[in-house]
Amino acid sequence: NGRAGVVFNAFQGVRPNVIEPGTHIVLPVLENVTFHPSLLQELTLSRRGEGGPDIDESIKALSKEGLEISADVTVQYQIIPAKAPALHKSVGPTYVGTVIRPQVRSKVRDGIGSFNAADLISTQRKALENTVTESLRQVFQDANLELRGVLLREIRDALRAR
């Protein structure tokens, strides 16, 4: 059904088992079930951000030679259902805002800083994508998430884009 249920018990904390589809007994006052989506999800940070058409969420960073570069990025990820309780216990339901968004921004900035601007805009797009993917993979794994892909949608010289 695309959801992983995590039970929080008021006395025992987060239960280690995931609730699978079906009927389960949950103590109404003592236990609370949180469902996390376990299907493929994506986060896009772009000029036309998810927060609305007037919100610029693109990632701005300095290239190796100090020129400002702006990048639009989509990250595909999913929760590993068996690890949903560990994710819920360590990060909670706000994992997009506390882990994914800040880590993507940081790793893309780091990646952009290791390339020359002209190379990024012309020939090194795939190399940047690979660099960011490798640096995010371990971060996601440590947070009990699976990174499925990093897609660089657009790379711009930020001064010319204005």
Q: What is the DSSP string of 12-74?
A: TEEEEEEEPSS-----TTTEEEEEEE-S-EEEEESSS-TT-TT----EEEE-TTS-EEEEEEE
What's the confidence (pLDDT) of residue 73?
A: 96
- What is the pTM assigned to this prediction? 0.84
Round to whole Å and give the CA distance between 84 and 34.
10
Question: Which amino acid would we find at residue 127?
Answer: A
State residue 159's pLDDT score. Answer: 59
Tens-level pLDDT at each residue, the chain (162 residues): 788 889 899 998 899 998 877 788 888 889 888 888 889 999 999 987 665 667 788 999 999 999 999 999 999 999 999 999 999 899 888 999 999 999 999 999 999 999 999 999 888 999 999 999 999 999 999 999 999 999 998 998 865 554
d(CA 90, CA 36): 14
pLDDT of residue 113: 95
Alpha-carbon dihedral sign for residues 67, 96, 138, 125? negative
Determine the Cα–Cα distance for residues 43 and 59; give it in Å rounded to an integer: 13
